[in-house]
Amino acid sequence: MNKRYDVAAYIWPAYTGDEPRTRMFWPEGMGEWQSVRSAVAKFPGHDWPRRPLWGYVNEADPAVMEMEISQALGHGVNVFIYDWYWYDRRPFLENCLNDGFLKARNCRGMKFYLMWANHDAGTLWDKRISSTVDAVIWEGAQPFDEFRRAMTRVIERYFTQPNYYAIDGKPVFMIYDVPRFVQGLGGPGPAKEAIDWFRAACVERGFPGLHLQFTMWSEKATNVTGVDGGKSVPAAQFGALGFDSCSHYQFVHFTNIDRDYEAVLPDVAAEWARLARELPFPYFPHVSLGWDNNPRFTTFRPGIMKNCTPEAVEKALRMARDWVDAHPEQPPLVTINSWNEWTESSYLQPDDLRGYGYLDAVKRVFLDGE
């Protein structure tokens, strides 16, 4: 296939115990694999437990990431979007990126960019208490001084990497929770000033600018994720803040997912069309692979997308490819949730349920052109 697509899969960098602060959530020292490994069926017919075909690997190991990069590229995924965190005046969960991905011998063949996952961190990640306790441990909202410290680190450590993903030469940076971002800065006015500073800092470092992206939400979303809720912001505010583009992180953020996968797809198509009409900047199509975050809980958690077969997902991937082909004026970017969101049941990595089915579907659509 001659046309090139930028197929970007989100990475949840919690599958390592190398950072000491992860032990408060996952004391066994293997990161959130601890929750995956202990997952059980919550009702007859529930398709858990699932087991990773690559094993409970440490994704902060460069040899592991070398293998994963090779598998990704071989199946048409050529960009990783790393969830990136800043809590308690310091970064969190950087090991997978710093020690795994960036030290892998083949990492230069894979582009990457960051999504600042600036939601609050709480008891959701601790399966021992997630079903009974809902408390904030670290706040995601940051004042300007902390924003400046964090973004200076991002510019110097990551934007300068030769394989950092850029649009028109401008490094791409995504913000997950814009309402939380605005709250931390003290309102829309100070938030715009912070963004202006960020852009100027990029130019001062020698870049032609910054491509600022955000995660789109909808007033229809419900807080089934455990960390999300109340994220809807009028599109006009995004424009006023000066964002350059948007995509989604999960279907669950804008539609009812408690039904069959293929029944969700008309809502997906309608949402893409709505955003194209209403937004003053590009929307990049997003494909989720499913939703079920019961592995994070000991009790049953309602809200499960059903029949998320590779064949059904392939239909969504073809929708995304067709969207890109129909919008040649914008970069050919597609986002996928995700590379490894195992505890949300939305991952490309092979398991004992679907095998390599999802990766093969990506390959057929974006590499083979079938």
Ramachandran quadrant class, 288 (left: phi over 0; alpha: psi -120 to 50; beta: rest): beta
- Distances in Å between the Cα of 133 and the Cα atoms of 14, 123, 128, 295, 298 are 21, 7, 9, 16, 12
- CA gyration radius for the chain? 19
Do residues 28 and 67 make contact, with C-beta atoms less than 8 angstroms apart?
A: no
Q: What is the CATH number of the domain that holds 266?
A: 3.20.20.80
pLDDT at residue 224, rounded to an integer = 44
Q: What does the pLDDT average to over 61-87?
A: 98
Evaluate whether residue 104 is within a structural domain.
yes
- Specify the 3-state DSSP secondary structure of 229: coil
Pairing of strands 170-175, 166-167: antiparallel
The whole-number average pLDDT for the span 311-319 is 98
The average pLDDT across 291-299 equals: 98
186-218 residue pLDDT tens? 999 999 999 999 999 999 999 999 999 999 987
In a domain, 1, yes or no: no
Does the residue 180 lie in any domain?
A: yes
Count CB atoms within 10 A of the CB of residue 194. Answer: 22
Q: What is the DSSP string of 159-170?
A: ITSTTB-EETTE
At residue 368, the 3 state secondary structure works out as coil
Query: Of 76-85, 188-197, 230-239, 295-304, which range is least confident?
Result: 230-239
Residue 278 pLDDT grade (very low, low, confident, very high; cuts 50, 70, 90)? confident
Residue 231 is predicted with a pLDDT of 55
**How close are the terminal C-alpha atoms of the chain, in Å?**
9
Whether residue 250 is contained in a domain is answered as yes
Residue 53 lies in a domain: yes
**Domain coverage including residue 62:** 6-367
Judge whether 144 lies within some domain.
yes
Q: What is the mean pLDDT of the chain?
A: 94
Percent of the chain with pLDDT over 70: 94
Long-range contacts of 306-309 (CB under 8 A, 24+ apart): 306/259, 306/260, 306/261, 307/260, 307/261, 307/262, 308/261, 308/345, 309/261, 309/354, 309/357
Q: What is the pLDDT of residues 8-45, one digit of tens each?
A: 999 999 999 999 999 999 999 999 999 999 999 999 99
Q: Alpha carbon 234 to chain centroid distance? A: 22
pLDDT at position 233:
55
C-beta separation of 281 from 246 below 8 A = yes
Q: Specify if 261 maps to a domain.
A: yes
State how many domains the chain has: 1
What's the half-sphere exposure (Cβ side, CA atoms, 13 Å) at 12?
21
Evaluate whether residue 295 is within a structural domain. Answer: yes
Strands 286-288, 333-337: pairing kind:
parallel
Per-residue pLDDT reduced to its tens digit, 321-347 = 999 999 999 999 999 999 999 999 999
Question: Which residue is associated with the tokens 């999802």?
Answer: 358
Calculate mean pLDDT across residues 315-319.
98
